[in-house]
C-alpha cells in the first residue's frame, strides 16, 4: 500500500509541478508572442506595399544561458522593422526573421540549425554565437550560408566555405589595437581573456608575432570561465604596470565593469582597454576616461566624430533601436542592426529566386561594397570568411563620448594576421 501511496503522491506532485511550469511558461510565451506581432506591427503596415513571399532568414539569437546578449535581439528586431518599413524589403519582398534562442551550448545551436533547415531559410544570421560552428555541418549540407559580423566561435572563423562575415576577424581587433597603442607610444600591453582552447591558440600564436613585428611587450592572462576572480585578475594585469591593461574580449558588460573597478582599486593608472564594452562608461564616466575600446561598427557615442554620411546612418540606427520596446542598446544592438541592413542592401538587386546558393554567391561577389556603419567590404576571399580586416579603436573622452584613434578605420598589418587561419 505504501508503495502505491508514494507512487500516487509522486504522480500528483509531478503533474502539479508540470502544470505550474506550463502555466508560467505559457504566460511568458504568450507575452513574447504578443511582443512579436507588436514589434512587427510597423513593418507589417509598411510591408503592405511589399509583395511576394517573404525572404526567410534564420537568426541565432544569443538570448539564453550564462552569457546572453539581449542587444543582438534588439538590433535584429529594429533592423527588420527598418528594412521592411524604410528600405522596401529585399527586392520588394518582406524580410522575415526566424528567430531561434541559443544559450552558448553546441546542442542549442545544432537544434536551431535543424529548425532553420525545416523552415526553409535562405541564410542564417549569426548573432555573435559562441558555438556557431555546431550549425555548420547542418547548414552546409543544406547549402544555407551562415552570415555574421565577427565570428565569435573561432572554429567558424577559421575557414571560408559556406559563410560570410561582414566585419573583421577577431585577430584584427587585437592587432589593430596594438598598432594604435604602439603609435601612441604605449609599448607594454597585458590583456586578459577567458581560458578556452581557441582563445589560447589565437593568443599564443598572435602575441609572439605581434611582439616581434611591433617591438612591443605584449602578454595574455587567462582566467577561468567558471571562476573569474576579477580582483586577482586585475592585480595580475597591473603587476608590472603595463602601459595598457584590460580585457581582450569580454563575455558581457558586467565583466568589463567589474574589471575596470578592480583595476582602479589596484591604483592602476595606465590605459584600460575594455574590448567592445560601453556600459561602464555611462556608469562612471570619470573612471572610464582615458580608456579604450574597439568596435566593428560606428557607435552612437562617437556621433560627434563620425563622417557626415555615417552620422545619418547612426541616427537611423539609433532611432530604430531606441524604438524597440524594452530593448537593450550597446555594441551588440548596433552591430546586429548593421549586419542585417548590410545583408538586405547587398541582396536587394538580385534577380530571380533567392536560395541559399544565390545568397552565398551574391555575398561572396561583393566588391568595395559600402557596409552599413562599417567600411567598404570585399567578400570573395578564398581563405577567410571575413569581408574586411579594418576595425575601429575608440578612446574614451572626459565627457563620456568616444573618439576614434587615427582618422577612422584602422588596417592591421596583414603579415601578422596571416599567422591566424582564416584571418586573411
Partner 1 sequence: MDQLVLFVSLGFTVGAVYAVIGSSLVAIHSATGVLNFAQGSVALWGVWVAAELGTTGTLVLPVGELRLTDGPAPVPTTVALGVVSSTVLALLMHLLVLRPLRAAPALSQVAASVGVMLLVASLVPLRFDVTTTVARPILADDSVTILGAEVAVANLVMLGLAVGVALLLAGYLRFTRWGTATRASAEDEEAVLLTGYSPDRLAAVVWLVTGAATGLIAVVGSPSIGLDPLAYTFYVLPGLAAALVARLTSVLVACVAGLAIGSFQSLLLMFSTYDFWPVWAQAGFGDTVPFLVVVVALFVNGKSLPERGGVVSGRMPPVHPPTMRALPAFLTLAGVVAAIVLTEGSWRFGVVTSVIMALIALSLVVLTGYLGQISLAAMAFAGTGGFLLSRVTSEWGIGFPLSLLLPALGATALGIVVGIPALRIRGAHLAVVTLAGALAIQNFVFGNPALTPYEGNLIADPTIGGLDLGVRDGTNLTTVRFAFMVVVVVGALTWLTARLMSGRTGRAFLAVRSNERAAAAAGINVAATKLLGFGISAFLAGIGGCLIGYSRGQLSVESFSILVGLALLCTVYVAGITGITGALLAGLLAPLGVAETFLESSLGLGEYYNLIAAIALVVTAVLNPVGITGSVRAAVAHARSRRHHVLAA
Q: Which is nearer to partner 1, 179 or 198 (CB)?
A: 198
Say if CB 57 and CB 84 are below 8 A apart: no
Report in angstroms how near the CB of residue 275 gets to partner 1 at its nearest. 15
| DSSP labels, 252-319 | -HHHHHHHHHHHHHTT--SEEEETT--HHHHH-HHHHTT-EEEESS--GGGGGGS-HHHHHHHHHHHH
| DSSP labels, 119-135 | HT-SEEEE-S-TTGGGG
**What is the chain's length?**
424
The footprint of partner 1 on residues 128-187 (CB under 8 A) is: 131, 133-134, 136-138, 141-143, 154-155, 158-159
Report in angstroms how near the CB of residue 312 gets to partner 1 at its nearest. 30
Using CB under 8 A, which of 57, 58, 68, 79 touches partner 1? 68
In sequence order, the β-bridge partners of residue 101 are 61
Q: Of the ranges 65-73, 88-96, 162-170, 291-299, which one interacts with partner 1 (CB under 8 A)?
A: 65-73
Determine if 4 is a binding residue for partner 1 (CB under 8 A): yes
| DSSP labels, 386-398 | BS---BEEEEEPT
Determine if 421 is a binding residue for partner 1 (CB under 8 A): yes
Report in angstroms how near the CB of residue 395 gets to partner 1 at its nearest. 24
Q: Of the ranges 9-17, 49-57, 176-184, 371-379, which one interacts with partner 1 (CB under 8 A)?
A: 9-17
Q: Which is nearer to partner 1, 50 or 360 (CB)?
A: 360
Determine if 7 is a binding residue for partner 1 (CB under 8 A): yes
Determine if 278 is a binding residue for partner 1 (CB under 8 A): no
Report in angstroms how near the CB of residue 159 gets to partner 1 at its nearest. 6
Report in angstroms how near the CB of residue 386 gets to partner 1 at its nearest. 15
d(CA 140, CA 409) in angstroms, rounded, equals 32
d(CA 305, CA 72) in angstroms, rounded, equals 24
d(CA 154, CA 223) in angstroms, rounded, equals 18
Closest CA to 257 of 246, 269, 242: 246
The footprint of partner 1 on residues 329-388 (CB under 8 A) is: none
Query: Cβ neighbours of residue 89 under 8 Å, at least 6 residues apart?
Result: 47, 50, 55, 83, 95, 344
d(CA 372, CA 297) in angstroms, rounded, equals 8
Query: Cβ neighbours of residue 15 under 8 Å, at least 6 residues apart?
Result: none
Using CB under 8 A, which of 22, 41, 312, 418 touches partner 1? 22
Determine if 6 is a binding residue for partner 1 (CB under 8 A): yes
Backbone angles phi, psi at 100, to 5 degrees: -135, 125
Determine if 253 is a binding residue for partner 1 (CB under 8 A): yes
The footprint of partner 1 on residues 207-246 (CB under 8 A) is: 219, 221-224, 226-233, 235-236, 239-240
Q: Of the ranges 16-24, 72-80, 299-307, 364-372, which one interacts with partner 1 (CB under 8 A)?
A: 16-24
Q: Of the ranges 176-184, 254-262, 366-374, 386-394, which one interacts with partner 1 (CB under 8 A)?
A: 254-262
Amino acid at each position: 500500500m505504501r508503495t502505491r501511496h508514494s507512487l500516487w503522491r509522486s504522480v500528483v506532485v509531478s503533474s502539479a509541478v508540470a502544470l505550474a511550469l506550463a502555466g508560467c511558461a505559457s504566460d511568458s510565451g504568450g507575452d513574447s508572442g504578443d511582443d512579436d506581432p507588436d514589434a512587427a506591427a510597423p513593418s507589417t503596415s509598411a510591408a503592405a506595399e511589399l509583395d511576394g513571399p517573404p525572404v526567410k532568414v534564420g537568426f541565432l539569437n544569443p538570448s539564453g544561458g550564462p552569457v546572453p546578449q539581449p542587444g543582438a535581439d534588439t538590433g535584429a528586431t529594429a533592423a527588420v522593422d527598418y528594412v521592411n518599413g524604410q528600405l522596401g524589403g529585399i527586392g520588394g519582398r518582406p524580410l522575415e526573421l526566424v528567430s531561434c534562442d541559443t544559450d552558448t551550448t553546441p546542442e542549442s545551436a545544432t537544434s536551431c540549425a535543424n529548425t532553420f533547415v525545416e523552415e526553409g531559410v535562405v541564410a542564417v544570421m549569426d548573432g555573435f554565437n559562441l558555438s556557431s560552428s555546431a550549425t555548420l555541418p547542418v547548414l552546409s549540407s543544406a547549402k544555407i550560408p551562415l552570415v555574421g559580423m565577427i565570428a565569435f566561435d573561432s572554429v567558424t572563423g577559421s575557414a571560408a566555405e559556406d559563410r560570410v562575415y561582414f566585419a573583421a576577424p577577431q585577430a584584427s581587433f587585437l592587432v589593430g589595437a596594438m598598432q594604435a597603442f604602439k603609435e601612441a607610444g604605449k609599448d607594454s600591453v597585458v590583456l586578459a581573456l577567458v581560458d578556452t582552447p581557441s582563445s589560447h591558440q589565437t593568443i599564443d600564436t598572435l602575441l609572439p608575432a605581434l611582439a616581434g613585428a611591433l617591438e612591443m611587450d605584449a602578454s595574455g592572462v587567462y582566467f577561468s570561465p567558471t571562476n573569474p576572480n576579477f580582483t586577482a585578475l586585475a592585480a595580475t594585469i597591473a603587476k608590472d604596470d603595463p602601459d595598457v591593461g584590460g580585457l581582450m574580449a569580454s563575455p558581457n558588460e558586467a565583466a568589463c565593469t567589474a574589471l575596470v573597478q578592480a583595476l582602479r582599486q589596484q591604483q592602476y593608472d595606465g590605459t584600460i582597454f575594455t574590448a567592445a564594452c560601453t556600459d561602464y562608461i555611462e556608469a562612471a564616466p570619470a573612471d572610464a576616461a582615458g580608456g579604450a575600446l574597439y568596435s566593428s561598427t560606428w557607435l552612437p557615442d562617437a556621433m560627434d566624430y563620425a563622417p557626415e554620411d555615417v552620422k545619418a546612418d547612426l541616427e537611423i540606427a539609433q532611432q530604430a533601436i531606441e524604438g524597440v520596446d524594452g530593448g537593450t542598446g550597446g555594441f551588440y544592438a548596433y552591430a546586429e542592426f548593421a549586419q542585417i541592413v548590410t545583408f538586405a542592401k547587398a541582396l536587394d538587386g538580385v534577380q530571380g529566386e533567392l536560395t541559399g546558393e544565390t545568397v552565398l554567391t551574391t555575398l561572396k561577389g561583393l566588391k568595395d561594397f559600402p557596409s552599413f556603419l562599417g567600411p567598404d567590404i570585399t567578400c570573395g576571399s578564398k581563405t577567410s570568411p571575413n569581408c574586411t580586416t579594418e576595425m575601429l579603436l575608440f578612446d574614451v573622452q572626459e565627457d563620456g563620448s568616444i573618439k576614434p584613434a587615427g582618422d577612422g578605420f584602422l588596417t592591421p598589418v596583414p603579415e601578422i594576421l596571416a599567422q591566424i587561419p582564416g584571418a586573411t
